[in-house]
Structure 1
Amino acid sequence: MKNEQLEDIRILQQECEREGFTLKLNWETLRSRNGVNKNDFLHYDGLKLVGFLGLYDFGNKAEMCGMVHPDYRRQGIFTKLLEEAIRSAVERNYKVILLNSPAQSHSGTEFLKQLPCEFAFSEFQMKWSETELGDYDDAVVRPSRRDDEETEIQLDIQCFHFTKQEAKDYYQRILYEDTLKTMMIEKGGRAVGKIRVDHSGREAWIYGFSILPKYQGKGLGRKALKKVVAEQGQLGYEIFLEVEATNEHALRLYESCGFKTIQRQDYYQYKG
């Protein structure tokens, strides 16, 4: 995407967020679009961007989030953008299409009520508040290597229910994202987990955190998470992550490490 378009999106986001909510536009992804597929749908009034919808690929599912300038609503702009994005997602054979709206956005919630979709889940966006993390010195966390490919793929299959092909495609897609760093978690000299950190400005976003099922429940993930959080904090980053509200175990883990909920995003599955 061109820098001019990114700036237009940023300005439009600021206008929309004056209503008191935060849009999840995945800026690290927007900045690294490769142009292979059309994932960004824009509507201009002359030189002014007044509508935007982004499509985000997550293996077998597509997530969509967008916005329309408050002065241009109820003119069918977002409906047109959504119809184009849905057609693209259907052509690319996604199994699940999710539409995202901030919980605090009245206009977004009301719009979704008019569509053939149903509420799927809520996701909490959490921010780390500096806190004493305790013992994590024996956690072994190192940068991912190319020979970790199969382990990364298996983690996405076993922990996030990707198919083999979806996991392979996803691995290849994120391999060359400049802002992304994948860390492998070791036990006894073997990689058994991963945690990804994506940097955007002075923010560090944690995602893809997973441990192979046979190694779960042993405190390994907690120590690895603490170690990564401590390192990012020492580098001066504000640290964020996202977790589904239904994942109570993960939610308790993050809270125990000093993360606090700052926003809620609601997801609706498209049924059209």
Structure 2
Amino acid sequence: MYSFQTSEVEISGLVHPDYRRSGLFTHLLQLAAGEAETRRIPKLVFIAPRSSSGAGPFVKKIAGYAYSEYVMELLHEGRPEAAAGADKVGIRPAGPADKELLIRLNQDGFQMTREDAAYYVESTLAKNNDNHTFIAEAGGEPIGKIGLILLGDTAMIIGFVIAPELRGRGYGRAVLFRTIRHIRQSLGCKIIKLGVAAANDHALGLYRSCGFEVTDANDYYECGTSSYSYA
């Protein structure tokens, strides 16, 4: 269970092959739904990787399709001209003084309510060696933010937003290249991934220009916590 908003919780799970088809996952799912209801979280979001033959058919029985995301991995260096602006921007660790800025960026970038954006900011700013939030700057002024989750030798780029009034100026590509450089030089991760909405053609083009390619996809399904039942 992963909740980065007060209004929903993401659920994913796995049962050892030796114990499948025994009702174990259904029982775990009922426990998770009960916990979400106790916390007054109204929506359950289920993540079904397309690479899993069993996830999709199972989830379709209990929830409705919502949207899809591609998983992209950095597989080549990207177009040389795309990296030209990386030296014109910088990234620095976010701190408590950046809370209001981060709330506004999350509201603008992900259509969050202020309550959900504040909840997300509090959780990502909490001390966690595997979760990093950075403020992107140009000329000493904030232009956006970007986050990282570290899992072994893999860095997952998350929560990437450029301020709406500054979009279309090449800052997104520059910040992305600057972040890739930081991951390689300072964090030593060998694998760099990110997720992007399958319907977001602009973002897909941006990431491909930086060397990312689609390697998998996740389908998201939703249902109300109180109405959860297994058919």
Q: Under a length normalisation based on structure 1, what TM-score does the superposition of the two structures give? A: 0.74
Change (3 A) 1:94 1:252: farther
Residue 128 (structure 2) pairs with residue 177 (structure 1): yes
User: Partner residue of 2:211?
Assistant: 258
Residue 79 (structure 2) pairs with residue 130 (structure 1): no
Displacement of 1:231: 2.4
1:145 and 1:107 map into 2 onto residues whose CA distance is: 42
Counterpart pick for 2:111 among 116, 136, 161: 161
Displacement of 1:174: 2.1
Residue 43 (structure 2) pairs with residue 96 (structure 1): yes
Indicate conservation of the 8 Å contact 2:60/2:221, yes or no: no
Deviations 1:120-143 (A, max 9, x none): 111111111231453121113222
Indicate conservation of the 8 Å contact 1:203/1:239, yes or no: yes
User: Partner residue of 2:2?
Assistant: 56
1:138 and 1:212 map into 2 onto residues whose CA distance is: 16
The one-letter amino acid of 2:168's match is: G
Displacement of 1:70: 2.1
User: Partner residue of 2:181?
Assistant: 230
Question: Secondary structure at 1:67's aligned position in 2?
Answer: coil
Displacement of 1:180: 1.9
Moved over 6 A (4+): none
Displacement of 1:244: 1.5
Q: Under a length normalisation based on structure 2, what TM-score does the superposition of the two structures give? A: 0.87
The one-letter amino acid of 1:105's match is: S
Residue 223 (structure 2) pairs with residue 239 (structure 1): no
2:26 and 2:205 map into 1 onto residues whose CA distance is: 38
Indicate conservation of the 8 Å contact 1:101/1:265, yes or no: yes
The one-letter amino acid of 1:80's match is: H
Question: Secondary structure at 1:110's aligned position in 2?
Answer: helix
Displacement of 1:248: 1.7
Structure 2 unaligned segments of length 5 or more: list them. Answer: none
129-138 or 99-108: bigger deviation: 129-138
2:37 and 2:167 map into 1 onto residues whose CA distance is: 36
Residue 73 (structure 2) pairs with residue 144 (structure 1): no
Displacement of 1:188: 4.3
Structure 1 unaligned segments of length 5 or more: list them. Answer: 1-54
Aligned residues: 217
Question: Secondary structure at 1:119's aligned position in 2?
Answer: strand
1:156 and 1:95 map into 2 onto residues whose CA distance is: 21
User: Partner residue of 2:220?
Assistant: 267
1:83 and 1:145 map into 2 onto residues whose CA distance is: 37
Counterpart pick for 1:249 among 180, 202, 211: 202
1:212 and 1:187 map into 2 onto residues whose CA distance is: 12
Counterpart pick for 2:56 among 109, 115, 119: 109
2:149 and 2:59 map into 1 onto residues whose CA distance is: 30
Displacement of 1:56: 0.6
1:113 and 1:183 map into 2 onto residues whose CA distance is: 37
